[in-house]
Amino acid sequence: MLVAPINPSDKNQIEGVYPIKKASTQLEIKNYITQEAEKTEAYVGGNEGIGQVLAIGSSAPPALNGPISVGDYVMPMSTGSVGTWANAVHAHPSSLVVFRNRSNVTVEQLGSLKVNASTSYRMLRDIVQLNPGDYVIQNGANSGVGQVLIQLARNWGFKTINVIRDRPDFEQVKKELESLGADLVLSESELSNKETVQKVKQHIGTSQIKLGVNCVCGKSAVQMARYLSENGYFVTYGAMAKQPMAIPAALFIFKNITFKGYWVSKWYKETDPKSWFSMWDELCDMFSSNKLVEQKMHPIHVPSFNLPSDSPMVLTSEEQASFDHSVTEALSSGAKKSYFKFI
């Protein structure tokens, strides 16, 4: 692999609370300081990333979108017991999508196309018909999904109201989101103020807030739903606060709000791959013309070793400790978004 993000769903998978489980297999775990190895039942995490083809079997069939060659960038669409958090994987071509002639697109951009960029794209396209000038309100607006959503909305002429958690560096995060194209940035606690209701009314004028995009759940998400215009849609794709939502009947009866969920894995399962490829072409075109920048992610550099030779990787105890520390931090709840960089 070249890069592989650590997504919240990967952590949920490790916690055993994600609906898609990874099957474990017999792995040999080696301590690179002592060179001792032990066999154990486990799996390698990671469901997203970009790799480069090192070798191809003599009777290998084509990839999902056509011929595959050594040196091609490839995105695994499904992984088995060895996920994308690996220097090298054996993959069947029928699980790979090839990206060619994308020299203006970075591996970080390609490596997070499948999950977050595509989820933002689909939620803006598939929940309700949005027209230029329409507003979308979202929480978790500084998340990976939120950052892409702001930019896609700007590119397509939609406006965004962006809710983030209260924080000491609120002004800094607000500026960052505005630089991506956010029209309004609010804190969670502001949502319940009458002044904020007036401020938003004044801001949108005669336009409508047609779509609410919910990354968080809990009370503040319900508060956000109150801002939707009549007949609006509210889509939940994440539950970062791990709290349920008690939705007031008035939002159903008097405002006729439609509440829906969204899961991009279901979309991939139910959709002709041609639609994936055309969406990714569009997203890659935006990346290469700088109309879209990738989600902010912190790199964890993975020590590399010579492939396909078997020469053993040897780490100093400091290198091993620093790597272990970075991984433990990145996997903890509340950690900033990180990704493994194998190059």
Ligand X SMILES: NC(=O)c1ccc[n+]([C@@H]2O[C@H](COP(=O)([O-])OP(=O)(O)OC[C@H]3O[C@@H](n4cnc5c(N)ncnc54)[C@H](OP(=O)(O)O)[C@@H]3O)[C@@H](O)[C@H]2O)c1
Three-class DSSP category at 183: coil
124 CB-contact burial (10 Å; exposed 0-12 / middle 13-18 / buried 19+): buried
Smallest gap from Cβ 246 to ligand X, in A, equals: 16
Smallest gap from Cβ 65 to ligand X, in A, equals: 22
Return the axis-axis angle of helices 118-126 and 144-156, rounded to nearest 10°.
Answer: 50
Residue 228 structure tokens: 């939707």
Residue 47 engages ligand X in binding (rule: CB under 6 A): no
Of the pair 109, 119, the CB lying nearest ligand X is at: 119
Smallest gap from Cβ 71 to ligand X, in A, equals: 29
For residue 287, which phi and psi values (nearest 5 degrees)?
Answer: -60, -50
Q: Which residues ranging from 250 to 309 are in contact with ligand X (CB under 6 A)?
A: 262-264
Residue 8 engages ligand X in binding (rule: CB under 6 A): yes
Residue carrying structure tokens 């083809």: 53
Please measure the distance between the N-terminal and C-terminal CA atoms of the chain and give it in whole angstroms: 9
Dihedral sign of CA atoms 290, 294, 300, 302 in order: negative
Residue 13 engages ligand X in binding (rule: CB under 6 A): no
Size of the site for ligand X (CB under 6 A): 23
- b/e for 170-204, b at 16 or more Cβ within 10 A? eeebbeebeebbbbbbbbbebbeeeebeeebeeeb
- Which of 3, 4, 9, 76 lies at the binding interface for ligand X (CB under 6 A)? 9
Of the pair 53, 177, the CB lying nearest ligand X is at: 177
Of the pair 159, 337, the CB lying nearest ligand X is at: 337
Q: Which residues ranging from 148 to 187 are in contact with ligand X (CB under 6 A)?
A: 165
Residue 150 near residue 182 (C-beta atoms within 8 A): yes
**Catalytic annotation on 18?**
yes
Of the pair 1, 215, the CB lying nearest ligand X is at: 215
Smallest gap from Cβ 92 to ligand X, in A, equals: 24
Smallest gap from Cβ 258 to ligand X, in A, equals: 17
Residue 222 engages ligand X in binding (rule: CB under 6 A): no
Distance (Å, rounded) from C-alpha 276 to C-alpha 283? 11
Of the pair 216, 251, the CB lying nearest ligand X is at: 216
